[in-house]
């Protein structure tokens, strides 16, 4: 395959014509495909339909004897705290089971930090010009929460083993306004990278000018492998405790992409002091979570092995779609010097980097040919990808044959856009 970045003008002109012809042909097919959001497919949702019928009137008391149909149980039912404590690798009493969304719990945690401050801090973050470190590319909704609440964002680059820790350590060292970092430690959104033990240790140990620095450890994809087994990720609570910073991590997770998206359960874990602080505030927000859903989820899985087996079934459905994405990228763009992409072993996304200055154009071209992609810059704070090169691909939702068709369009759009750029010099 010719490296187009080294081709001469004549070769570029030929390649440009061929790419345009391929693109025009695909455009003529009037496709209407969507690769924008990381949602489970209908087949994945079907795997959890046992949840719709698995609770009878005889089973409405939790392990403490509380009737799950009634108010109460702010921290969640004991069996859900035990199961999802095991899931997050923490004791049951260090877990709060929330409602249907971990994003809401993250928003709540950050919002409370702004309004009241956090354990070990010196008051509300609002007024201290708080700054959050955002590894990029990252999860657009994390950035949107910061924007909504008025936290300034600074970026650091994501590598294959986590964020650039030299940059992170430099940012936290002398500026007490740097209060937090977003982390998706396993099968990160969107690159699929899993944090190494070394990166996790550095996060736990690093001296921070802010006494109340927080790691927002969003373990959204803890069990979401693609068939080759699970990556290991460090126990951040344990590492931070050993490093003398027990209150540093806020850990989050949910069953949104295990059972039903937006109709599962979310969880928060932290040090005993952080859990107490969260509950003290949650008391004013709700009389208690939906314990019926919690009970259903626990009965559905029984134990952690049940969760893992269930995720093997997800992997069987999802892996062929990721293979189709990688196959198309390799076939059409491999060796051409115009694109690189990630080959995740889990999670929901593939992160595609094209030549600088081309991502917006690729997305425009794909859209004109009937393939909707996540808007350019989505994986960056304020929607600003400074190199205009990153594209997030989300292959889980469409059926396999649609993923294949969409990828033909994506690859053709990449070729056309990058050749336009190369021929313009």
Ligand X SMILES: Cc1ncc(COP(=O)(O)O)c(C=O)c1O
Give residues in contact with ligand X (CB under 6 A).
38, 101-103, 139, 184, 189, 218, 220, 254, 256, 262, 266
CB of 402 to ligand X, least distance (A): 20
DSSP letter (8 states) at residue 182: E
Q: Smallest distance, Å, CB 184 to ligand X?
A: 4
Residue number, 196 or 256, with CB nearest to ligand X:
256
CA dihedral 351, 315, 35, 2 (to 10 degrees): 50
Q: Which is nearer to ligand X, 222 or 333 (CB)?
A: 222
Q: Are strands 350-354 and 266-269 parallel, antiparallel or unpaired?
A: unpaired
Residue closer to ligand X, measured from CB, 38 or 377: 38
Report, in Å, the least distance between residue 257 CB and ligand X: 7
Residues whose CB falls within 8 Å of the CB of residue 107, separated by 6 or more in sequence, listed in order? 145, 148, 149
CB of 128 to ligand X, least distance (A): 26
3-state SS of the chain: helix, strand, coil percent to 5? 45, 15, 40
Residue 373 Cβ, how far from ligand X at the closest point, in Å? 16
Nearer to ligand X, 361 or 392 (CB): 392
CB of 211 to ligand X, least distance (A): 27
Q: By C-beta, is 140 or 388 nearer to ligand X?
A: 140
DSSP states along 27-87: HTT---EE--S----HHHHHTTGGGGT---GGG-B-TT--BTTSS--TT--HHHHHHHHHH
Complex with ligand X: residue 121 or 190, whichever CB lies closer: 190
Cα 212-221-314 angle, rounded to 5 deg: 165
Is residue 416 packed enough to be buried (19+ CB in 10 Å), middle (13-18) or exposed (0-12)? Answer: buried
Cis peptide preceding 204, ω within 30 of 0? no
């Amino acid at each position: 395959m010719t490296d187009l970045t080294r081709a001469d003008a004549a070769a570029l002109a030929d390649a440009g014509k061929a790419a345009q012809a391929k693109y025009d042909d695909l455009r003529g097919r009037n496709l209407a495909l969507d690769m924008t959001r990381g949602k489970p497919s209908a087949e994945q949702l079907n795997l959890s339909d046992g949840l719709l019928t698995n609770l009878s009137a005889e089973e409405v008391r939790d392990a403490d004897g509380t009737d799950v149909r009634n108010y109460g149980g702010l921290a969640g039912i004991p069996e859900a705290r035990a199961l999802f404590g095991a899931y997050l690798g923490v004791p049951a009493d260090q877990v709060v089971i929330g409602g249907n969304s971990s994003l809401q719990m993250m928003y709540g945690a950050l919002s409370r930090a702004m309004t009241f401050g956090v354990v070990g801090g010196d008051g509300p973050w609002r007024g201290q010009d708080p700054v959050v470190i955002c590894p990029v590319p990252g999860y657009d909704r994390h950035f949107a929460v910061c924007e909504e609440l008025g936290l300034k964002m600074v970026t650091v680059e994501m590598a294959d083993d986590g964020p650039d820790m030299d940059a992170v350590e430099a940012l936290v060292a002398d500026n007490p306004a740097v209060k937090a970092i977003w982390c998706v430690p396993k099968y990160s959104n969107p690159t699929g990278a899993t944090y190494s033990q070394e990166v996790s240790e550095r996060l736990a140990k690093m001296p921070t000018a802010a006494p109340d620095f927080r790691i927002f450890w969003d373990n959204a994809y803890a069990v979401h492998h693609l068939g080759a087994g699970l990556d290991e990720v460090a126990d951040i609570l344990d590492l931070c405790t050993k490093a003398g910073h027990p209150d540093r991590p806020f850990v989050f997770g949910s069953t949104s992409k295990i059972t039903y998206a937006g109709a599962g359960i979310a969880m928060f874990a932290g040090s005993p002091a952080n859990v107490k602080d969260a509950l003290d505030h949650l008391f004013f927000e709700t009389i208690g979570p939906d314990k019926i859903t919690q009970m259903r989820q626990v009965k559905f899985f029984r134990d952690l092995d049940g969760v893992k087996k269930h995720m093997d079934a997800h992997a069987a459905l999802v892996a062929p779609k990721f293979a189709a994405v990688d196959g198309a990228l390799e076939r059409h763009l491999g060796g051409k010097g115009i694109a690189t992409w990630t080959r995740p072993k889990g999670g929901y996304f593939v992160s595609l980097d094209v030549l600088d200055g081309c991502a917006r154009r690729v997305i425009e071209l794909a859209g004109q040919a009937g393939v909707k992609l996540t808007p350019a810059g989505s994986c960056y704070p304020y929607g600003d990808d400074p190199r205009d090169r990153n594209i997030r691909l989300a292959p889980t939702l469409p059926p396999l044959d649609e993923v294949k068709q969409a990828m033909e369009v994506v690859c053709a759009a990449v070729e056309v856009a990058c050749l336009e750029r190369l021929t313009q010099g």
